[in-house]
Structure 1
Amino acid sequence: MSTPCSRVVHLTIDDIVHDNDQVLPRLGEPASQVPAPFAELLLTWIDSRDNMNTATNRDSRWVFPGRRAGQPLHPGSLSSQLNDLGISTTAVRTAAIRQQVLEMPAPVVADALGYHHKTTTRLLNETGGTWSRYAAGDHKRSPTGWVPRGSGDS
């Protein structure tokens, strides 16, 4: 799943777990493993982070330290740098959400990610997903007055 730049810039080096051959950033619980090529790049980045050569940032724990003392990189700056590399954060995020609505109901994805239900339903329709008849809401309880068939009350 794609994570917004606003969350990524708040990662500290303590949030990157290096366990044997696995690199696991803690963006949620449990931490998610990143693929080998990206894992190596991430570890190399941590060892040679930008904005570390000033007196105010020498001990910064941010994975993406900002120019201001004690502050992470601004999310817009990270997004801009990714766009300069040819990585569209909007396209990546949309692709990740489209994958999610193929795997689970659009209202569930909307609630989990904080999107409007209409947005995830539109993305579901664009992908040709099969969750179109899913009714959002609490499915643990029956409507008032509802009696299941075959309950002997016929």
Structure 2
Amino acid sequence: MRLRVAGVIVLLYAQPVSRIVRLTLDDVIRDGDTVLLRLGESPSPIPEPVADLLEHIAHRDNMNTATNPASRWLFPGRRAGQPFRPDHLSALLNEIGIPAVAARGAAIRQQLLDMPAAVVADVLGYHHKTATRLRNETGGTWSRYAPGDHGRSPAGWTPRGTGDS
């Protein structure tokens, strides 16, 4: 189950294995029927079939040893207080057919074709320059997207037709 959860996070959220092993129980947020995963500024929703996989949390490996009974890591390691080793998780993912590095690269590029780089960077926890560079390499078309709150007017600006003539 641990490999399924890690593989889904690589494939859907373009996360490196080194970041996946550092996720804690606090990064999985349950809000009613919705399950969110905190990867960047704002938590990302987890689609329903995948949210069921996160039941893995209740049955995590390496929890019944004397060194890990209260571990907060989503992927606890064998050593006390340490997460699962990223190199070992990457090798296990490769064994089941998920080449972690290639899959992550493909996933982030697909996200950048579907959404603006600024949004992808904020939601997935990437640096804005990295997301923009990858978008340019991918050929994304969101080059004129202005991030920010578009629901409010700039200071001192009034829409046409509302001022005195």
The TM-score bracket by the shorter chain reads 0.5 to 0.7
Trace 1:21-100 onto structure 2 (pairs within 5 A): 21-43=33-55, 45-100=56-111
What is the CA-CA distance between 1:114 and the residue it aligns to? 3.7
**TM-aligned CA deviation for residue 7 of structure 1:** 1.2
Distance 1:47 1:111, change over 3 A: closer
Aligned-residue sequence identity (percent) comes to 51
The 3 A distance-change label for structure 1 pair 37 and 100 is closer
The yes-or-no answer on 1:123 pairing with 2:134 is no
Verify: 1:112 aligned to 2:124, yes or no.
Answer: no
Q: What CA distance in whole angstroms lies between the structure 2 residues aligned with 1:113 and 1:55? A: 44
- Quote the offset at 1:81 in angstroms: 2.0
Matches of 1:111 and 1:15, distance apart in 2: 19
Alignment partner of 1:12 is 2:28: no
Structure 2 runs not aligned, ≥5 long: 1-12, 145-165
- In the comparison of the two structures, how many residue pairs are matched? 126
Change (3 A) 1:47 1:101: closer
The one-letter code matched in structure 2 to 1:84 is E
**Runs of 5+ in structure 1 lacking a partner?**
136-154
| Distance change >3 Å, CA 21–CA 37, structure 1 → 2 | same
Superposed CA deviations along residues 82-101 of structure 1, whole A, max 9, x for unmatched, are 22222222232122222244
Shift in alpha-carbon separation, 1:101–1:46, aligned structure 2, 3 A: closer
Kindly provide the CA deviation profile for residues 13-58 of structure 1, in whole angstroms up to 9, marking residues without a partner as x.
1211112211111112211111111111112x11111111110111
| Greater RCO structure (CA 8 Å; 6+ sep) | 2
Give the drift of 1:73.
0.6
SS at 1:17 equivalent: strand
1:46 to 1:77, Cα distance in 2 relative to 1, 3 A:
same
Question: Which residue does 2:9 correspond to in 1?
Answer: none
- The structure number with the bigger radius of gyration is 1
Contact 2:29 2:35 (C-alpha < 8 Å) held by counterparts: yes
- Name the structure where helix makes up a greater proportion of residues: 2
